[in-house]
């Protein structure tokens, strides 16, 4: 656990700096009320009304997120395999080749179905 | 494992007098943490000034020069100026999230720095210690984790602003960062394969003879591309494309909150540069011509110098890219990430794994090389054959279609794109030559090609060609 204490120390310093900056920014700056200044900025035109509850995200962003999870899990399996590769031998290589081939089938399907088009 | 440790002991001078990372007293940990924090902040101030200076030189300007010697204090002055600007909280903002988002994006950037080896073993106030805050067995994984947490700051900032541009910018930024994180993660796997460890200090130790950039050139290049995408820097700075999204996710931020986002971006740059140095360029070890003539180059405080120089190299690369390349379009960018970098790194990983496994099994080196070269040539030949069968029908048809039949009014004057020595657009009645590109795989909309082939109106031809170009 002692290895992780320095990380907390550094995180604490950074967080303290951030909070101090936020407070300082609120205190040192001037305050001049102007109704237009508090509107959302849209290059000077009337701001688009925001839908209640934050609205919806385009579905393709969810698709990207799911793709990311697939490949991230692949990476999670790859790392320990790579670290202990030398002791696994040919068996480890064949196993991982099979695994990557399996994911690759999904990847090819996705590509073919247009999941990787972002026009 | 034990054999590997012995190997490591032979290659590293750290191992000559090993001091554990857990043996630092608490005050030294705190002191080192403050040092690391100060280093990051100073590097940010320096990098901003350096970037403005270098981009200015590239554009034949002078850049900042009034505040401090050569304008060195310019970014500090800008920070102070930001502190005295009004701290605007927009009406539509979700207040707690809006206020906390800059901190959420900044803190992980700093925390990632904890496992970066900045130098070898030195003596600090009579204590033997490493120029590295701490060393985790999963160091690189930890950096990936902090990078992912940093994305939260951006997405929360965009969402909580209650405004359209920041929301779009943050969504783009998130999509971009997670896409390039995959390529980045895959490029690490090659390094782990060779070093047999995820700890940053062990990886540096393993590069005593050869840098991993030499052993793993493809991983190195993929990491370089992914690191630029990961930090949202030009030419991948789509989240801040000012032509379309104003400032992106930080459009609604002002005063020191804006400064914190800036700080996070530059600290992230320093972190990914340090990681590139650590994983591929031998970390804090001196480059080989120096080690050949000078034994002491890899000991004590000198190591800090090599680390610093290598990081500067990458920071300059960032600036150079920004000064040179135009911004990519969103679909081009995502295509590069998903369709080029990811398959390439997977194939490369399997290639080096195969080579390493065969080497471990005691196969002849020449046999391996011949086998791999044969496989690559076979794949190339196959792809050429595939291209020949695929490309012919479509391209010829298009070239024929784009050329009006002789005698038609459009064919009167051939179009010279460099008339008078300058690139010029086609005049009325002239048309662009067909672009020698691959055919689009997707079926085109029926209307797009109607103007072609009958040779009546050149205006139709032009718009059709344009439409095709955009789709390719």
Vertex B46 angle, CA B43 and B48, to 5°: 105
Q: What is the pLDDT of residue B303?
A: 83
Is the pLDDT confidence value at B171 over 60? yes
Find, in chain B, the residue whose alpha carbon is nearest to that of A100: B346
Give me the sign of the Cα torsion angle B220, B222, B228, B234: positive
Q: How far apart are CA B256 and CA B51, in angstroms?
A: 21
User: Same domain for B381 and B354?
Assistant: no
Give residue B272's pLDDT band: very low, low, confident or very high (50, 70, 90): very high
Q: What is the pLDDT of residue B19?
A: 61
Find, in chain A, the residue whose alpha carbon is nearest to that of B259: A21
Preceding peptide of B235 cis, ω within 30°: yes
User: Per-residue DSSP letters for B132-180?
Assistant: SS---TTHHHHHHHHHHHHHHHHHHHHHHTTSHHHHHHHHHHHHHHHHH
Contacts of B82 in chain A (CB under 8 A): 25
* Bridge partner residues of B119 (DSSP): B131
CATH assignment, A5-112? 1.20.58.1610
Domain of B455?
365-472
Hey, how many other C-beta atoms are within 10 angstroms of the C-beta on A15?
16
Q: What is the pLDDT of residue B472?
A: 39
Confirm whether B154 is domain-assigned. yes
Cβ contact, residue pair B114, A50, below 8 Å: no
Domain parsing of chain A, residue ranges: 5-112
Cβ contact, residue pair A25, B190, below 8 Å: no
Cβ contact, residue pair B1, A104, below 8 Å: no
User: Same domain for B299 and B418?
Assistant: no
Q: What is the pLDDT of residue B2?
A: 47
Q: How far apart are CA B201 and CA B388, in angstroms?
A: 50
Contact in structure between B65 and A11 (CB atoms under 8 Å): no
Q: What is the pLDDT of residue B69?
A: 86
User: Same domain for B438 and B347?
Assistant: no
Tell the residue number behind the tokens 């539509």, with chain if given. B92
Q: What is the pLDDT of residue B408?
A: 52
Percentage of chain A beyond pLDDT 70 is 91
Q: What is the mean pLDDT of chain B?
A: 79
Q: What is the pTM of this model?
A: 0.78
Q: Which element (helix H / strand E) includes B124?
A: strand B119-124
Q: What is the pLDDT of residue B273?
A: 92
Q: What is the mean pLDDT of residues B398-426?
A: 65
Taking the Cβ of residue A49 and every Cβ of chain B, the question of whether any pair is shorter than 8 Å is answered with: no
Cβ contact, residue pair B164, A117, below 8 Å: no
Give residue B270's pLDDT band: very low, low, confident or very high (50, 70, 90): very high
Selected for mutation to probe chain A from B44, B194, B353, B441 (highest A CB count within 10 Å) is B353
Find, in chain B, the residue whose alpha carbon is nearest to that of A31: B86
Instruction: Please tell me the distance in Å from B349's CA to the nearest CA on chain A.
Output: 10
Confirm whether B10 is domain-assigned. no
Question: The complex's ipTM?
Answer: 0.87
Q: What is the mean pLDDT of residues B305-316?
A: 90
Give residue B457's pLDDT band: very low, low, confident or very high (50, 70, 90): very low
Is the pLDDT confidence value at B460 over 50? no
Q: What is the pLDDT of residue B443?
A: 57
Is the pLDDT confidence value at B5 over 60? no
Question: Per mean pLDDT, which range of A51-60, B266-275, B415-424 is the poorest?
Answer: A51-60
Q: What is the mean pLDDT of residues B234-250?
A: 76
| Radius of gyration (C-alpha) of chain B in whole angstroms | 27
Q: What is the mean pLDDT of residues A77-86?
A: 88
Q: What is the pLDDT of residue A57?
A: 67
Percentage of chain B beyond pLDDT 90 is 10
Instruction: Please tell me the distance in Å from A75's CA to the nearest CA on chain B.
Output: 6
Confirm whether B2 is domain-assigned. no
Tell the residue number behind the tokens 């000078």, with chain if given. B294
> Burial letters for B131-162: b for 16+ Cβ neighbours within 10 Å, e otherwise?
bbbbbbebbbbbbbebbeebbebbbbbbbbbb
Contact in structure between B235 and B325 (CB atoms under 8 Å): yes
Q: How far apart are CA B452 and CA B468, in angstroms?
A: 12
Cβ contact, residue pair A11, B354, below 8 Å: no
Q: What is the mean pLDDT of residues B109-138?
A: 83
Q: What is the mean pLDDT of residues B243-249?
A: 75
Confirm whether B3 is domain-assigned. no
User: Same domain for B252 and B188?
Assistant: yes
Of B310, B330, B363, the residue that ends a domain is: B363
Tens digits of residue pLDDT in B36-84: 899 999 999 999 999 999 999 988 888 888 888 888 888 889 888 888 8
User: Same domain for B424 and B458?
Assistant: yes
Is the pLDDT confidence value at B1 over 60? no
Contact in structure between B33 and B133 (CB atoms under 8 Å): yes
Of B363, B380, B396, the residue that ends a domain is: B363
**Cα end-to-end distance, chain B, whole Å:** 51
Of B363, B390, B421, the residue that ends a domain is: B363
User: Same domain for B145 and B291?
Assistant: yes
Contact in structure between B439 and B394 (CB atoms under 8 Å): yes
Q: What is the mean pLDDT of residues B291-317?
A: 83
Find, in chain A, the residue whose alpha carbon is nearest to that of B36: A10
Cβ contact, residue pair B178, A68, below 8 Å: yes
Q: What is the mean pLDDT of residues B20-39?
A: 83
Hey, how many other C-beta atoms are within 10 angstroms of the C-beta on B305?
13
Q: What is the mean pLDDT of chain A?
A: 82
Taking the Cβ of residue A46 and every Cβ of chain B, the question of whether any pair is shorter than 8 Å is answered with: no
Confirm whether B8 is domain-assigned. no
Q: What is the mean pLDDT of residues A49-74?
A: 76
């Amino acid at each position: 656990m002692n290895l992780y204490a320095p990380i907390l120390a550094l995180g604490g310093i950074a967080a303290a700096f951030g909070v101090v900056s936020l407070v300082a920014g609120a205190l040192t700056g001037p305050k001049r009320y102007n109704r237009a200044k508090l509107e959302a900025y849209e290059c000077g035109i009337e701001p688009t009304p925001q839908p209640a509850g934050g609205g919806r995200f385009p579905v393709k962003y969810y698709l990207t997120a799911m793709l990311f999870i697939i490949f991230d899990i692949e990476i999670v399996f790859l790392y320990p395999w790579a670290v202990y590769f030398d002791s696994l031998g040919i068996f480890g290589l064949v196993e991982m080749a099979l695994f990557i081939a399996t994911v690759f089938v999904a990847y090819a399907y996705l590509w073919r179905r247009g999941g990787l088009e972002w026009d | 494992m034990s054999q590997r440790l012995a190997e490591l002991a032979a290659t590293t001078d750290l191992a000559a007098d090993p001091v554990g990372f857990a043996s630092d007293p608490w005050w030294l940990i705190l002191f080192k943490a403050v040092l690391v924090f100060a280093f990051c902040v100073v590097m940010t101030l320096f990098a901003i000034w350096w970037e403005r200076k270098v981009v200015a030189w590239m554009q034949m300007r002078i850049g900042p020069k009034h505040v401090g010697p050569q304008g060195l204090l310019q970014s500090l002055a800008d920070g102070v100026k930001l502190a005295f600007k009004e701290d605007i909280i927009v009406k539509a903002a979700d207040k707690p999230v809006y206020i906390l988002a800059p901190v959420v994006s900044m803190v992980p950037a700093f925390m990632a720095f904890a496992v970066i080896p900045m130098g070898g073993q030195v003596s600090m106030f009579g204590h033997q210690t490493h120029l590295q805050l701490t060393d985790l067995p999963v160091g690189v994984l930890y950096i990936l984790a902090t990078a992912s947490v940093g994305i939260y700051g951006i997405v929360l900032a965009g969402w909580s602003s209650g405004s359209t541009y920041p929301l779009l910018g943050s969504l783009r930024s998130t999509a971009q960062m997670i896409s390039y994180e995959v390529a980045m993660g895959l490029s690490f796997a090659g390094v782990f394969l060779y070093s047999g460890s995820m700890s940053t200090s062990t990886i540096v130790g393993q590069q005593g003879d050869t840098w991993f950039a030499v052993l793993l050139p493809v991983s190195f290049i993929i990491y370089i591309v992914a690191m630029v995408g990961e930090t949202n820097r030009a030419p991948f700075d789509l989240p801040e494309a000012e032509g379309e999204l104003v400032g992106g996710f930080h459009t609604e931020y002002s005063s020191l909150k804006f400064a914190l986002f800036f700080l996070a971006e530059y600290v992230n740059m320093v972190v990914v540069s340090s990681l590139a140095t650590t994983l591929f360029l031998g970390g804090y070890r001196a480059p080989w011509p120096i080690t050949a003539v000078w034994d002491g180059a890899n000991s004590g405080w000198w190591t800090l110098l090599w680390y610093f120089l290598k990081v500067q190299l990458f920071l300059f690369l960032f600036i150079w890219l920004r000064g040179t390349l135009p911004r990519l379009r969103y679909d081009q960018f995502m295509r590069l990430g998903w369709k080029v970098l990811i398959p390439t790194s997977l194939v490369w990983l399997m290639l080096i794994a195969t080579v390493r496994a065969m080497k471990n099994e005691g196969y002849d080196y020449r046999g391996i090389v011949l086998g791999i070269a044969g496989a690559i040539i076979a794949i190339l030949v196959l792809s050429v054959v595939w291209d020949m069968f695929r490309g012919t029908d479509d391209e010829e048809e298009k070239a024929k279609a784009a050329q009006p039949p002789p005698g038609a009014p459009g064919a009167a004057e051939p179009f010279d794109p460099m008339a008078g020595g300058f690139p010029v657009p086609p005049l009325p009645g002239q048309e662009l030559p067909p672009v020698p590109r691959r055919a689009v795989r997707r079926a085109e909309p029926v209307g797009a090609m109607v103007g072609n082939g009958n040779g009546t109106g050149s205006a139709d031809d032009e718009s059709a060609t344009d439409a095709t170009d955009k789709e390719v």
